Every structure is written in C-alpha cells, then in structure tokens.
Structure 1
C-alpha cells in the first residue's frame, strides 16, 4: 500500500541556524557575553522580559515584535520562551590560540594548585543535549577552554547553545581534526590528561587531580576511542553502587570536572 504524501503542515520545521539563539537564559547570556547582536525578536504578549529588553536597549540592539507562530517558524521550535536573537557566529579558536590564552602564554607548573588551568576535551560526542550540558558544566567550573572534534560530533548549533543555557558564549572553544593529536599538543603544553573510563582501576576519589589537567569525556555508548585512551596519562572511574553499569556522558563528565576543581582548589 502506498503511503500518502506528507502535507506541508506535517513537515518538520527547519532547524534554527547556529547564529540564531533562542530561549530567555541563552539570550541573556548572549547579551552579557559581548558578542555582536544585530536583532532581537520578541513574541507579542510575552511577559517577564523587562530585564532582557533593558539589557538589549543599553546595547542598541533593535527589537522586533512578531506573532508567536512566526517566532516558532524562525526558531524551528516552539521552545523559544518568547524571545530569539541573531548574533555573530560562536567564535572558535585554533588549538594554539586556546592553549596560549588558557595558560597566559606560559607553560603550567607541575603541581601548581593556586591557579591550575583546566581543559575539557570532548571525544566525538554527538548528542547536542550532552554537548550543551557539558559546556554548561565547563563554564560553571571555570574551565580554561574546551576542545571538540571537528567531525563526527555535534556542532555548536542553536540546540547546543540552548542546552548550555548560554554558557557557550563565555567559553574558549577549539574544534580539532584529531582529538588524539590535540592531546599530544596539550601534554606538550604542560597538562596531564585524565580520561573517564568505567573499567579503570583507579577511583576518581583516589587519584591526584590537583595539577594542570585536561579531562577527556568519551562519546555516548562507546566511550573514548582507543587512540585517545592511549594518549591519557591517567584513567579514572566513577564509583557505582547500583545495578546500572554506566552514567550519561554529561553526568559523568560533570562529576569528574567537579572533583578536579575540588582538588585543585583545596589541596
């Protein structure tokens, strides 16, 4: 039996372009970040936007009021909370630039616990929600930068920006062609590389994580690629007491990052 042709109404909306940011918290963080914003759209009848509009006005951002359904089509989603903004693309750095900025141009001193830099390395994560959540955690712990695979991984899309609650606007990000090669350069810059691995002998709580570190979070399902795993100086596992054998990538990454920051600031 031949399937009926889909009607125009049943076709999914086109995804929002990376330069379009929507949702109240992501738009506020965008305005606070200093990235150029050339237009703000507000749904007619949307309430509670006074602080956001005041911030936009102080920066001279033009505001256009549109029907809610128009805004939904523009965003490719109804989850815009009544506001969207068009900004310059999320700026990306070369790995050299990121390392220079993360270390102030100086090689981190081994065991430096006063201002130890922290890098987050994402090894081919493909779920925008996971990537966004990890970027949000990276910003929350004050990470010095984030390194992501340029291919076979989620791009810094509107969905990632939204999932990060706008944290992406405050991060240094570099996308690299080879995560394994990037780890070699990171190590040459004075960082120890720590990978989260469920089968590791050493527990997260037993490891010394107090120096300049790069934390690697593996892809959903398969974890770190073998070559990336071999580049790690240390593998750590998160203790598990329940019946499930693993955690969501963004949850596991958050636990490791917070333990690293705890040790870097208290040891």
Structure 2
C-alpha cells in the first residue's frame, strides 16, 4: 500500500482534498463524468487488476483490507479505514459492500475500433436492466467473448449496480458503447463479421445457422427483442429452440446458451 491506512469517523475525503460526494443518479444511458463507487470483493479485486482502471481511494474495514492482501491484491491507492456502518452510509440501502468500497474513474470509452482482432462479440440492443447486463458480462467473460457492445442510450451506465452484478467482469472485458446499433452492424459487416440476430421466429436454429470466422451475436430486450432496423442490418436471424414447455428464456440465460453454441460453431 502506498499510504498507511487511517481511521476517520467522518465522511471520507477524495483526491485533491475535496470533500467526498457520493455519485448521484444519472439519466439512464449517460456515462458518469465523475468518480464511480465499486464495492464487493470480486468487483474491487478485478478493478485493482485492470490496468485501464484509474483508481482513486479505497474505503475499507480492517478485515476487508486483510482479505484483499490475502488474495495478493496490490492496493496502490490511499486507504481510509471505515467501520461497516460508515461504509453502509456511502452506498445505497441493501448494497452488499463486504467491507470495501473503491472510488475510481469510469473506464475509458471504447469504440468499435477495439474489435479489429475479435472473433466473438456479443451485442445487446437496448437491454436496460443493469442486473441482466451485469450477469451477461459475467457469462461473456466465462465463455471467452472478446467484447460486449451496448448502445450509449437505453443501456445501463457504468455504475455501482452494473459493476456489482457483473462481479468483476466489468473490468475483465471490453465494453463498447455505440451511438447507433444498426450503423455498428453495418460497420461489422464491412469488416467481415457475420452478424446474427436472435429472434424467436428465426428461420433456423442457432445450431443450424452458418457462422463466419468472426461473429457478432445480437440479443434484444425481453419482450420486444431486437429492433426491426437492427434485425434488417444483421441479415441473419436465428432462434433458440426450447424442447420444454417454457419456450423462452431470460435474456441473460439466452446469452449463455447463445455464446456456448457460438463457441462450438467457431471452434473456440
């Protein structure tokens, strides 16, 4: 650690001796301009392991600092020791912070140029629930996707809820945000990607759909699915066949199954 932990009974201070102000709510889809609060063991550990993440300060209990050190996490920011009750006041009600809150800058804004060497990309067309998107990020990391793509609007901002739901995956995968999903698909088609939109009325199952050497899988929000203009841009529609009595899946579950099938088809 670069600074000796200190205990404070008041609100923690941020960099440049400015008073700490808990980030407030923002309009959905608008990326934060100031610091974000990342909490929970896996989320904080992953943030310390991400070279692209600018970290500011760690607020933690003594036990939490010990847990991080036991996991060989290099704590390279000032540490302010806080009691669990003090930490509770820094985050929303019922937030499971596990004794640690990391104040950090949002991740860099990644664009489509980050995908030049990718083979498997998962795109989400207006999936707005941060819990779903966080769970999908975890699955994308677990199944070796190269990136996840969302729109700048009508998608969750990078914040505490998304980061906690992703359980570290937010700092393990490129999160590309695009202004226009249809235009993004056109760009990927021009770069030789096969773009496949999941649709319950698709002409063939995903298993029976032809994949190229590099593929974009497009999933839409529950209920309305992938928007018509985005489906048209993809050109390829495929369905997930469910043999049981329930014929549809939650979007996060559909993402897991789609990624698994895609890996088999791509020979990854």
Instruction: Please give the TM-score of this superposition, normalised by the length of structure 1.
Output: 0.81
- Does the 8 Å contact 1:193/1:234 carry over to 2? yes
1:175 corresponds to: 177
1:184 corresponds to: 186
1:3 corresponds to: none
Which residue, 86, 103, 121 being the options, matches 2:123? 121
Distance 2:128 2:72 in 1: 33
2:84 corresponds to: 68
Query: Alpha carbons of 1:155 and 1:58: their partners in 2 closer, same or farther (altered >3 Å)?
Result: closer
Answer with 198-207 or 221-230: which moved more: 198-207
Matched, 1:91 2:108: yes
Shift in Å, 1:221: 1.6
Q: Which runs of 4+ in 1 moved over 4 A?
A: 13-18, 54-57
Q: Which aligned pairs between 1:102-181 and structure 2 lie closer than 5 A?
A: 102-103=117-118, 117-181=119-183
- Does the 8 Å contact 1:145/1:171 carry over to 2? yes
Instruction: Please give the TM-score of this superposition, normalised by the length of structure 2.
Output: 0.80
- Does the 8 Å contact 1:99/1:189 carry over to 2? no
2:60 corresponds to: 42
Distance 2:92 2:193 in 1: 41
Unaligned runs of 5+ in 2: 1-22, 27-31
Distance 2:54 2:171 in 1: 11
Distance 1:83 1:262 in 2: 39
How many residue pairs end up in the alignment?
237
SS in 1 for 2:244: coil
- Does the 8 Å contact 1:31/1:56 carry over to 2? no
Shift in Å, 1:173: 2.0
Shift in Å, 1:15: 5.7
Shift in Å, 1:127: 0.4
Query: Alpha carbons of 1:203 and 1:255: their partners in 2 closer, same or farther (altered >3 Å)?
Result: same
Across the aligned residues of Structure 1 and Structure 2, the Cα RMSD in angstroms comes to 2.3
Q: Deviations over 1:74-126 (max 9, x none)?
A: 1224311111111121222122x2233x35xxxxxxxxxxxxx1111110111
